[in-house]
Structure 1
Amino acid sequence: MYLEFKASQSVRLSIETPTAPLQHYLRQPQRLVYALTDPTRVEFLGSDRFRLKMRPLNFLMVSLQPTVDLAVHANSDGSLQLRSLGCEIRGVDYINRRFHLALEGYLCPQATVNGTDLIGLADLQVGVDIPPPLDLTPRPILEATGNGLLKSVLLTIKQRLSQQLVADYQRWLTEVETTGNERWLAPLPVSST
């Protein structure tokens, strides 16, 4: 039985800062990746590409650990686009051969009277052949469980974005102010393993 699961999550963060510094910050896509994910689970693949080893996810009686390759592209207007390039499920070979993941998202700074709003949207879609004996489970239960799992993944990303990205941006602003360098700061260290 082949099933598709889908989830979307929007975000709107109000940041009390002019738009220009936030645009400079967002031109460093690695900062977004490290803010959204535990840095020990990230491998830099070069240019704007990263490999993320996600935490194990439990789907009914099966534990899955997706490894997702992402492209994070910084646009000249300070917006970011994110999309998955591939995915591997480690530990369950049957599912890995019958699994498809597609993730697309964006973040865009928008000037407001009080500063800047960071507006974003992420769409996540997974398709998988359900292995026996799980294929005996009623379809509505499988769909509700799968869609709920994807929603929880996107909600976790939203929470990390709201906390970690904003905190990292504040650190970056402090570093810019203390060094007097308004251009670029040294990028975060990138793991090569």
Structure 2
Amino acid sequence: MYVSFNASESVRISITNEETPIKHYLRQPKRLVNAIADPQLMKQVSDDLYELKMRPINFMEIYHFQPIVLLKVWSGSNGSVYLQSVSCQIEGINYINKRFSLKLKGVLYPRESNGKTTLEGQSDLEVGVELPAALMFTPKIFLERAGNKLLKSVLSRIKNKLTTQLIQDYRTWASQETELQSLSRANLSPDLRY
């Protein structure tokens, strides 16, 4: 039996800009990936491709598996960041790996108004899978509810990490940028002691 699951999540985060605005931070997608993913579960494959091992998933207390997603992450104009799944494989259940598809799309962009910046974003996750015979007699509606709930929890975890980790990482980065700019100005200014 083939079933598909869907979930969407939106995010809105108010940010007080540091000396270096957040749109400059967002032009470095790797920082965003590091902010939302466990560094032990993520590795950079190329400039804009990342392999992300999702946390192991327990579906209906019967199947335990771990999706590994290849994500493309890139910057757009005005600090927008986009992500899109390129491929996915499943560790743990070979049957599902051959009959599984995952599509993830997301965007995060800054909106500025009255000196304040708000990050707004949307992510959509869709999974399709041909279920094993053991689940054939489970009502499809029950499977879809369980699957949709599972996907919603995955996106909620990412959203929670984004709302906490991203802000902390931005502040750390902005502080380092300010220090570098101060050092650079100090090294370029003429010595006035003579």
What TM-score results when the alignment is normalised by the length of structure 1? 0.91
- 1:173-188 equivalence runs, <5 A: 173-180=174-181
Q: Distance in 1 between matches of 2:103 and 2:170?
A: 28
Structure 1: 5+ residue stretches without partners: 182-193
Is contact 1:42–1:50 with CA below 8 Å preserved after alignment?
yes
Mapped pair 1:35 → 2:35: yes
Q: Distance in 2 between matches of 1:55 and 1:135?
A: 26
- 1:34-113 equivalence runs, <5 A: 34-60=34-60, 61-113=62-114
The structural deviation recorded for 1:20 is 6.5
Which segments of structure 1 move beyond 2 Å, counting only runs of 4 or more? none
- Structure 1, residues 125-172: CA drift from partner, whole Å, max 9, x if none? 000001121122111110110000000000001000000011100101
Number of paired residues?
A: 182
**Equivalence for 1:23:** 23
Q: Distance in 1 between matches of 2:58 and 2:38?
A: 19
Letter of the 1:77 counterpart? N
Mapped pair 1:124 → 2:100: no
Q: Distance in 1 between matches of 2:106 and 2:93?
A: 27
SS at match of 2:45: strand
Q: Distance in 1 between matches of 2:138 and 2:95?
A: 18
SS at match of 2:52: strand
Letter of the 2:29 counterpart? P
Structure number, greater radius of gyration? 2
Identity of aligned residues (%): 46
The structural deviation recorded for 1:100 is 0.2
What TM-score results when the alignment is normalised by the length of structure 2? 0.90
Is contact 2:20–2:178 with CA below 8 Å preserved after alignment?
no
The structural deviation recorded for 1:91 is 1.2
Q: Distance in 1 between matches of 2:131 and 2:159?
A: 28
**Equivalence for 1:191:** none
The structural deviation recorded for 1:77 is 1.5
Q: Distance in 2 between matches of 1:114 and 1:63?
A: 47
Letter of the 1:57 counterpart? I
SS at match of 1:58: strand
